[in-house]
Amino acid sequence: MNTDLSSWLDERAADRATAGLHRDLRPRPPVSASIDLASNDYLGLVHHPEVMEAAIESVRRWGTGSTGSRLVTGTTTEHEELEAELADFVGAEAGLVFASGYAANLGAVTALSGRGSLVVSDAGSHASLVDACRLSRARVEIAPHRDVDAVDRLLSARTEERALVLTDSVFSADGDLAPLAELHRVTRYNGAVLIVDEAHGLGVRGTGGRGLVEEVGLSGAPDLVITATLSKAFAAQGGAVLAGENVRAHLIDTARTFIFDTGLAPAAVGAARAALRLLRAEPEMAGRVLERAADIARIAGVGTPDSAVVSVVLGETHVAHEAAQACRARGLEVGCFRPPSVPEGTSRLRLTARADLTAAEMDTIATVLGEVLAGARGLDAVPA
């Protein structure tokens, strides 16, 4: 038995390196000549002057930190204004802002489930929903990806009085869409509640970027709860739960990641509000994201995506990792998803579109991806 921590850590590090799963932190410069297809800045608002100025103004007004938990000193009028604006945007009664999207999912799931309940989660759900299941103290069942019939069977066979169904609206690795209308139908039929993580849907899907829930006509449904992040289309940080007033009140009293975590910093609140105002003023930004995603998918030789995420599966971890490094060396930042983020044998480049990509940048993307993917797939380079 190896009880020496240092030796155990060295062994685990060696195992990860052998499997191609070692990861490095790469601090990015404030301004880069590289083209960004790796971040989740879908609307390209992180450096927008109005968003940055709003963040600065919030700091001038409220200071650099929220100073405490939301229940003590961490709530400002601006937090409540953001909550109301987000809820209005997606068609919900009320909203509650958390320090991160991860915390929002943990808080919502654990507070709405518990012992004596059932949680059914899609096999492709984000890690935050996976961890929420583990912490829920409920009985947990994992349904095959996008399998509505399996969800129906699990709900109808339960002995528990209460049940939750969890799904991403847009799945982060593949960029595919959840069958929300069908899921809601079986969830309602079985007397359960549907929780939808709109992290990758807001700003991209729906009318003017209002999300997939709005797109399929489920805004304001009393048995549906939306969770969201402010760190993607809204160019800030933080998370939110958007639902009925009674859900908001319940979470304020019971969600541990709300009660015991420091409130969202003022700069993030101000930035998110400004990004939301810009999206309301320019709703066509959401459509431009999907247009650019379709262009990138064509260049990469994969099917037209349903979201900002273009997934290029290359198979083994070392192939995807080397392709990502080759892109980076040519001035193109891309994501590289390897296990445990994706199943074994499906390592990939994850390319994310932005509304503000220029024609010149798209030309460079075509050249770089054409060269790199031809090599990764063992083909001769051909014009994109």
Q: Answer whether residue 13 is part of any domain.
A: no
Which residue carries 């209002």 as its tokens? 210
pLDDT band at 28 (very low <50, low <70, confident <90, very high): confident
CB 140 within 8 A of CB 121: yes
Give the DSSP H or E segment for 324.
helix 317-329
Nearest 5°: the CA angle 265, 266, 271 is 105
Whether residue 100 sits in one domain with residue 236: yes
User: Is a pLDDT exceeding 70 seen at residue 125?
Assistant: yes
DSSP codes, 95-162 = EEEESSHHHHHHHHHHHH--TTEEEEEETT--HHHHHHHHHS-SEEEEEPTT-HHHHHHHHHT--SSE
Answer with the one of 281, 297, 324 that is the final residue of a domain: 281
Whether residue 333 sits in one domain with residue 243: no
Cβ within 8 Å of residue 179, ≥6 positions away: 146, 148
Q: Answer whether residue 179 is part of any domain.
A: yes
Q: Answer whether residue 32 is part of any domain.
A: no
Whether residue 208 sits in one domain with residue 308: no
pLDDT band at 378 (very low <50, low <70, confident <90, very high): confident
CA 234 to chain centre: 12
**Cβ–Cβ contacts within 10 Å for residue 224, how many?**
23
User: Is a pLDDT exceeding 80 seen at residue 384?
Assistant: no
Whether residue 310 sits in one domain with residue 180: no
pLDDT of residue 32: 85
Whether residue 188 sits in one domain with residue 126: yes
pLDDT of residue 20: 80
Q: Answer whether residue 39 is part of any domain.
A: no
Whether residue 218 sits in one domain with residue 143: yes
**Residue 324: Cβ-neighbour burial (10 angstroms; 0-12, 13-18, 19+):** buried
- Please state the rounded mean pLDDT for residues 249-267: 98
Half-sphere exposure of 261 (CA within 13 A, CB side): 21
- Please state the rounded mean pLDDT for residues 193-209: 98
* CATH label of the domain that carries residue 249: 3.40.640.10
Answer with the one of 281, 301, 331 that is the final residue of a domain: 281
pLDDT of residue 26: 84
Whether residue 313 sits in one domain with residue 264: no
Whether residue 344 sits in one domain with residue 266: no
Whether residue 367 sits in one domain with residue 257: no
**Residue 294: Cβ-neighbour burial (10 angstroms; 0-12, 13-18, 19+):** middle
Q: Answer whether residue 21 is part of any domain.
A: no
User: Is a pLDDT exceeding 70 seen at residue 349?
Assistant: yes
Q: Answer whether residue 43 is part of any domain.
A: no
pLDDT of residue 340: 84
Which residue carries 């994706």 as its tokens? 342
pLDDT of residue 379: 57
- What whole-number percentage of the chain has pLDDT above 90? 90
Phi, psi for 280 (deg, rounded to 5)? -65, -40
Q: Which amino acid is at 382?
A: V
Answer with the one of 224, 258, 281 that is the final residue of a domain: 281
- Enclosing domain of residue 175: 49-281
d(CA 252, CA 333): 40
Whether residue 310 sits in one domain with residue 219: no
Tokens of 238: 């933080």
Q: Answer whether residue 77 is part of any domain.
A: yes
Whether residue 190 sits in one domain with residue 73: yes
- Please state the rounded mean pLDDT for residues 123-135: 97
Whether residue 67 sits in one domain with residue 126: yes
- Please state the rounded mean pLDDT for residues 45-53: 98
pLDDT band at 380 (very low <50, low <70, confident <90, very high): very low
pLDDT band at 29 (very low <50, low <70, confident <90, very high): confident
Q: Answer whether residue 383 is part of any domain.
A: no
Number of domains in the chain: 2
* CATH label of the domain that carries residue 349: 3.90.1150.10
pLDDT of residue 1: 59
pLDDT band at 2 (very low <50, low <70, confident <90, very high): low
Tokens of 13: 């590090």
